[in-house]
């Protein structure tokens, strides 16, 4: 199957972007006119090429090239009130994907209004409501594909307590990457069952949404802690907490621990939990780290609830291709070792992750290489990234490789 790049659509996106570059944000507007005139415009132009190969008999390799970007605008602050919006667009330039493996992630052509929110700040309290991107342990959008996920949600945050943030929120809709996206561990989302290849719409989260309570504290030097409670009404309740301590030493060594707990409203599903540990250090731009996670329960039990959205993988054994999703399967132990390097505009990371699943032929060894370069000088704001993954399953029929490249110019 082939699709042609929509030149007219991309030209429109470029035209809107250039036209808005003269707007500059200021802290506070003193009139309704300045509220909009002093707003801020930004965005990005993107070109993504992803290719996958599969070892299993009868499986076809896949490749896709997608172009597009996003355009963002937010007003200045007018008596604490601010409005914001983001428009995303994607155009498929080339696709060779007989098995449709990119249907739920990259194969989307069209546009979506991913942000449209009102924000109000008074002293140390902030309200934000509407369509918006959001990242936390149990609710997090993913930006690894050209169309970035989003949520419709309403939250109230306060920072009156020194070095502490407390947020109470309600999430009622989830915007996916394409209108053919669906995820078994987020089964309670009312996904589109007749997707045609457009960017994902905003889909209901259960019948009554998801409540969240989030706390983050860094009052003790070197110690960062966070915790979050999430309740998908009448479906599942989840709790997450972690703590990370960084020693005040030249190598910046750290130790960290995390905990997940999930309790399903369906009495036939057993509650489950996951614990994780992480250590690492940094010297002269070189990082070394190791992580371990262990999910409770027995083979066949319900997996641990990781949260809502494809960015909600906070486990210490996360990866690029599978996101470390296997670590949440009942009675699964996983471990990871890795190293990274950062110098000037270059950063790279190499990880080896192993998932020991109790089911037959379900073990997985995953190699992940991530490379990123941010240009300077005349090419400032341009970046190029390459990710390469090798999946080696106990069942060799599932083995695969995954190569991703992204060219992004941000303005």
**Hey, how many other C-beta atoms are within 10 angstroms of the C-beta on 57?**
6
Question: How long, in residues, is the chain?
Answer: 411
- Non-local (6+) Cβ contacts of 163 within 8 A are 217, 218, 219
User: How far, in Å, CA of 116 to CA of 348, rounded?
Assistant: 35
Give the pLDDT confidence score for residue 27 in this predicted structure.
Answer: 61
Give the pLDDT confidence score for residue 3 in this predicted structure.
Answer: 42
Q: Is 362 among the domain residues?
A: yes
Q: Is 361 among the domain residues?
A: yes
User: How far, in Å, CA of 99 to CA of 19, rounded?
Assistant: 41
Give the pLDDT confidence score for residue 23 in this predicted structure.
Answer: 32
H/E run at residue 37:
helix 32-37
Burial class of residue 75 in the structure, from the number of CB atoms within 10 Å of its CB (0-12 exposed, 13-18 middle, 19+ buried): buried
Ranges under pLDDT 70 in the chain: 1-27
Q: Which domain holds residue 395?
A: 236-400
Q: Render pLDDT for 170-227 as a digit per residue (tens, 0 to 9).
A: 999 999 999 999 999 999 999 999 999 999 999 999 999 999 999 999 999 999 999 9
Q: Is 27 among the domain residues?
A: no
Q: Is 296 among the domain residues?
A: yes
H/E run at residue 203:
strand 202-204
Q: Is 308 among the domain residues?
A: yes
Q: Render pLDDT for 108-165 as a digit per residue (tens, 0 to 9).
A: 999 999 999 999 999 999 999 999 999 999 999 999 999 999 999 999 999 999 999 9
- Eight-class DSSP state of 40: E
- Non-local (6+) Cβ contacts of 365 within 8 A are 352, 353, 354, 355, 391, 392, 393
Q: Is 7 among the domain residues?
A: no
Give the pLDDT confidence score for residue 20 in this predicted structure.
Answer: 36
Q: Kindly report the pTM of this predicted structure.
A: 0.91
Provide the number of structural domains found in the chain.
1
CATH number at residue 328: 2.40.160.10
Q: Is 314 among the domain residues?
A: yes
Q: Is 409 among the domain residues?
A: no
């Amino acid at each position: 199957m082939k699709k042609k790049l929509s030149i007219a659509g991309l030209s429109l996106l470029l035209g809107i972007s250039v036209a808005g570059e003269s707007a500059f944000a200021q802290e506070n507007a003193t009139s309704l006119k300045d509220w909009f005139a002093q707003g801020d415009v930004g965005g990005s132009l993107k070109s993504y090429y992803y290719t996958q190969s599969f070892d299993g008999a009868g499986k076809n390799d896949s490749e896709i090239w997608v172009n597009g970007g996003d355009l963002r605008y937010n007003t200045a602050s007018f008596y604490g009130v601010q409005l914001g919006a983001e428009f995303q667009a994607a155009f498929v330039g080339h696709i060779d994907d007989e098995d449709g493996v990119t249907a739920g992630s990259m194969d989307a052509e069209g546009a979506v209004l991913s942000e449209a929110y009102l924000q109000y700040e008074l002293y140390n309290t902030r309200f934000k409501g509407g369509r918006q991107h959001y990242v936390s342990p149990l609710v997090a959008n993913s930006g690894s594909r050209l169309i970035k996920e989003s949520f419709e949600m309403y939250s109230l945050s306060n920072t009156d307590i020194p070095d502490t943030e407390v947020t109470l929120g309600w999430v009622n809709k989830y915007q996916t990457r394409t209108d053919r996206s669906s995820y078994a561990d987020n089964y309670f989302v009312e996904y589109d069952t007749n997707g045609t290849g457009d960017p994902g719409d905003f889909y209901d989260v259960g019948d009554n949404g998801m409540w969240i309570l989030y706390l983050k504290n860094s009052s003790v030097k070197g110690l960062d802690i966070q915790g979050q409670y999430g309740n998908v009404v009448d479906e599942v309740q989840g709790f997450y907490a972690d703590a990370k301590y960084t020693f005040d030493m030249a190598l910046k060594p750290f130790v960290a621990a995390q905990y997940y707990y999930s309790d399903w409203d369906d009495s036939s599903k057993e509650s489950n939990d996951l614990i994780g540990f992480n250590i690492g250090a940094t010297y002269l731009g070189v990082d070394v780290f190791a992580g371990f996670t262990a999910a409770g329960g027995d083979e066949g039990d319900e997996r641990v609830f990781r949260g809502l959205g494809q960015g909600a993988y906070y486990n210490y054994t996360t990866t690029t291709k599978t996101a470390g999703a296997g670590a949440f399967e009942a009675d699964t132990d996983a471990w990871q070792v890795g190293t990274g390097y950062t110098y000037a505009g270059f950063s790279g990371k190499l990880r080896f992750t192993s998932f020991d699943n109790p089911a037959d032929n379900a073990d997985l060894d995953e190699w992940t290489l991530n490379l990123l370069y941010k240009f300077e000088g005349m090419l400032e704001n341009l970046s190029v990234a390459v990710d390469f993954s090798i999946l080696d399953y106990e069942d060799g029929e599932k083995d695969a490789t995954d190569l991703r490249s992204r060219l992004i110019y941000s303005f």
